[in-house]
Structure 1
Amino acid sequence: MSLPGAAWRERVEFERRLVHAGGTLYAVPYLLGWISWQQTGYLLLVGLAIVAILEALRLRGAAGPLDPLYDALVREYEADGIAGYALYQVSMTAVALALAPTLAIPAMWMLSLGDPISGMLGDNGPTEPKRATVWVVMGLVCTAIAAAFTVPAFGTTVGVAVAIAGGTAAAVADGSPPIIRGVAVDDNLTIPPAAGVAMVAVLALLG
Structure 2
Amino acid sequence: MSLPAAEWRAEVEFERRLVHSGGTLYPVPFLLGWLTWTETRYFLVAALAVVLALEFLRLVVGLDHSLYRRLTREYETDALAGYALYQVSMTGVVLLLEPTLAIPAMWMLSVGDPVSGALGDNDATEAKRPAAWIAMFLVCFGLAVPFTIPAFGPDVGIVVAMAGAAPAAVADGLPPIIRGVAVDDNLTIPPAAAGGMLLAVAVLG
What TM-score, normalized by structure 2, do the two folds share? 0.97
SS of residue paired to 1:60? helix
Shift of 1:134: 1.0
Letter in 1 for 2:50: I
Aligned to 1:44: 44
Aligned to 1:190: 188
Question: Residues of 2 paired with 1:3 and 1:129: CA distance?
Answer: 29
Shift of 1:25: 0.6
SS of residue paired to 2:4? helix
The C-alpha deviation readout for 1:137-168, integer Å capped at 9, x for no partner, is 10111011001110111111100000001000
Aligned to 2:82: 84
Letter in 2 for 1:169: P
Aligned to 2:132: 134
Structure 1 residues 2 and 130: CA distance shift in structure 2, 3 A = farther
Question: Residues of 1 paired with 2:4 and 2:146: CA distance?
Answer: 41
**Corresponding residue pairs, total:** 205
Question: Residues of 1 paired with 2:72 and 2:20: CA distance?
Answer: 12
Shift of 1:60: 2.6
Question: Out of 165, 170, 174, which is 2:168 matched to?
Answer: 170
Letter in 2 for 1:41: R
How does 1:51-200 map onto structure 2 within 5 Å? 51-60=51-60, 62-64=62-64, 67-200=65-198
Question: Residues of 1 paired with 2:62 and 2:45: CA distance?
Answer: 23
SS of residue paired to 1:128? coil
Letter in 2 for 1:124: N
Question: Residues of 2 paired with 1:63 and 1:54: CA distance?
Answer: 9
Letter in 2 for 1:12: V
Letter in 2 for 1:70: Y
SS of residue paired to 2:83? helix
Question: Residues of 1 paired with 2:101 and 2:89: CA distance?
Answer: 14
Query: What is the alpha-carbon root mean square deviation over aligned residues?
Result: 1.3
Question: Residues of 1 paired with 2:131 and 2:10: CA distance?
Answer: 22
Shift of 1:63: 2.2
Aligned to 2:21: 21
Moved over 6 A (4+): none
Shift of 1:3: 6.1
Shift of 1:4: 2.3
Shift of 1:10: 1.2
Letter in 1 for 2:87: Q
Shift of 1:57: 0.7
Shift of 1:61: 5.1
Question: Residues of 1 paired with 2:2 and 2:36: CA distance?
Answer: 50
Shift of 1:2: 9.9
